[in-house]
Amino acid sequence: MFVLSQYGKTRDASQHIPFNARRLVGAWIFLSAASVAHADTQSGYVVPPPPSELYGELFVAVQTQQIYPDQKTFVDATPKMDPAQINALYLQQRTVPGFSLSAFVAQYFTPPTDQVITPPPNQTLREHINWLWPALTRNTSTVPPYSTLIPMPKPYVVPGGRFREGYYWDTYFTMLGLQEAGREDLVDDMLDNFAYLIDTIGHIPNGNRTYYVSRSQPPFFSYMVELAAHKEGGRVYQKYLPQMRREYSYWMKGAHTLQAGEAVRNVVMLPDRTVLNRYWDERDTPRDESYLEDVQTASSVSSRPANEVYRDLRAAAESGWDFSSRWFGDNQTLATIRTTSIVPIDLNSLMFHLETTIARGCGEAHDFHCVAEFIGKAARRAIGINKYLWNSNGYYGDYDWKLAQPRNNPSAAMLYPLFAGAAWPDRAHITAQTVETLLLKPGGLTTTTHNTTQQWDAPNGWAPLHWIAIQGLRRYGRADLAQPIGTRFLADVNHVYATEQKLVEKYVVEGTGTGGGGGGEYPLQDGFGWTNGVTLRLLDLYAPGQ
Binding residues for substrate, by number, are 162, 169-170, 206, 215-217, 320, 521
Measured on CA atoms in the order 300, 302, 307, 311, is the torsion positive or negative? negative
Residue 261: how many other CB atoms lie within 10 Å: 14
Q: 341, 239 in Cβ contact below 8 A?
A: no
Decide if 518 contacts 508 (C-beta within 8 A). Answer: yes
- From the CA atom positions of the chain, what is the Rg in Å? 23
Q: Which residues of 410-419 are buried (b: 16+ CB within 10 A; e: fewer)?
A: bbbbbbbbbb
Alpha carbon 140 to chain centroid, angstroms = 22
Torsion angle (degrees, nearest 10) of CA 202, 207, 210, 216 = -40
Q: Residues 529, 170: contact at Cβ < 8 Å?
A: yes
Residues 6+ apart with CB under 8 A from 146: 48, 54, 78, 79, 82, 83
Q: Tell me, yes or no, if 500 is annotated catalytic.
A: no
Binding-site residues: 162, 169-170, 206, 215-217, 320, 521
CA 396 – CA 430 distance, rounded (Å)? 9
- Cα–chain center distance at 396: 18
Annotated catalytic residue: which of 165, 247, 322, 526? 322
DSSP 8-state assignment for residue 436: I
Question: Is 322 designated active site?
Answer: yes
Is 444:466 a contact under the CB 8 Å cutoff?
yes
Among the listed residues 321, 339, 323, 480, the one whose alpha carbon sits nearest the alpha carbon of residue 413: 321
Neighbouring residues of 51: CB distance < 8 A, sequence distance ≥ 6: 59, 74, 75, 148, 210, 211, 288
Alpha-carbon distance 239 to 241, whole Å? 6
Q: Confirm if 438 and 449 have CB atoms less than 8 A apart.
A: yes
The one catalytic residue among 189, 346, 505, 526: 505
The answer to whether the beta carbons of residues 265 and 251 sit under 8 Å apart is: no
Reference 502, options 520, 522, 529; nearest CA is 529
368-388 vs 345-364: helix crossing angle, rounded to 10: 160
Q: How far apart are CA 290 and CA 238, in angstroms?
A: 39
Q: Is 323 helix (H, G, I), strand (E, B) or coil?
A: coil
Report the distance separating Cα 146 and Cα 157, nearest Å: 23
Which residues does the annotation mark as catalytic?
322, 505
